Amino acid sequence: RYDMRGFGQSSPVTGPACRRDDLSRLLDHLGIAQAHLVGCSNGGQLGLDLALEQAERVLSLTIVNSSPSGFEPVGEPPRHMMAMFGAMQQGDVDTANELSVRIWFDGSSREPDELDQAQRQKVLDMNRIMVERNTFFIADMQPARPLDPPSLTRLHDVQCPVLVVVGALDHAEMLRAADIMAEQIPNAHKVIIEGTAHIPSFEKPEVFNPLLVDFLKNPAAFAIS
């Protein structure tokens, strides 16, 4: 696992980023010709884009609570989304971080006190790095060299086996995106993990990890029991 630029212990971003170029260069640097890719949220989207741009490199793809590039949400935005953007624009890191975690970790139907507080604090600590660095606005709001045409229009061209995972408590548009990918990617399987929102691998590892291991044992022959 690696931290994308602007996240975790990786260097901050200084301008629009092409995340799949970063990943491709990292694989080159490590001498990895082919890999099984696992990505959550933006990580899943960049993995899907790379699987279309460099199909020979991607042995399988696990997409977790992601949407394909080119996907446009409809309807009302997630609760707290506009307030979070306002706080980020004003430089209010504490408020922006809290609202971001409410949107993505808590989910649309839970309040903060319903979550495991130790887990939630870890998410706040990790997420704060990205908020303090303003990573989304600098690097990802208008990314460099976006895939053209976007993956939404090319899902039928994905060649590798794909596992689509989504938390049942995530925003409705994330569940719709998962449905679209599962329906249009030729060799895709979708699994919904109950009782979790945008980060099921962190909140429900006892469910997510065995599922992922089972898929990676033989992606081409994977079947949902």
pLDDT per residue over 36-51, tens digit each? 999 999 999 999 999 9
Q: What is the mean pLDDT of residues 112-133?
A: 97
User: Do 23 and 60 fall into the same domain?
Assistant: yes
User: Do 148 and 217 fall into the same domain?
Assistant: yes
What is the count of structural domains for the chain? 2
- pTM beyond 0.85: the answer is yes
Residue 202 in domain: yes
pLDDT digits (tens, 9 = 90+) for 190-203: 999 999 999 999 99
pLDDT digits (tens, 9 = 90+) for 63-101: 999 999 999 999 999 999 999 999 998 999 999 999 999
User: Do 33 and 70 fall into the same domain?
Assistant: yes
The single-letter DSSP state of residue 155 is G
Residue 149: cis peptide before it, omega within 30 degrees of 0? yes
Give one DSSP letter per residue of 79-100, joined into a string. TTHHHHHHHHHTT-HHHHHHHH
Question: How far apart, in whole angstroms, are the C-alpha atoms of residue 46 and residue 18?
Answer: 9
State the pLDDT at residue 225: 63
Q: Structural domain of residue 188, as residue ranges?
A: 19-74+143-221
Residue 4 in domain: no
Question: How far apart, in whole angstroms, are the C-alpha atoms of residue 184 and residue 48?
Answer: 13
Residue 6 in domain: no
Question: How far apart, in whole angstroms, are the C-alpha atoms of residue 147 and residue 129?
Answer: 27
User: Do 198 and 110 fall into the same domain?
Assistant: no
pLDDT digits (tens, 9 = 90+) for 142-182: 999 999 999 999 999 999 999 999 999 999 999 999 999 99
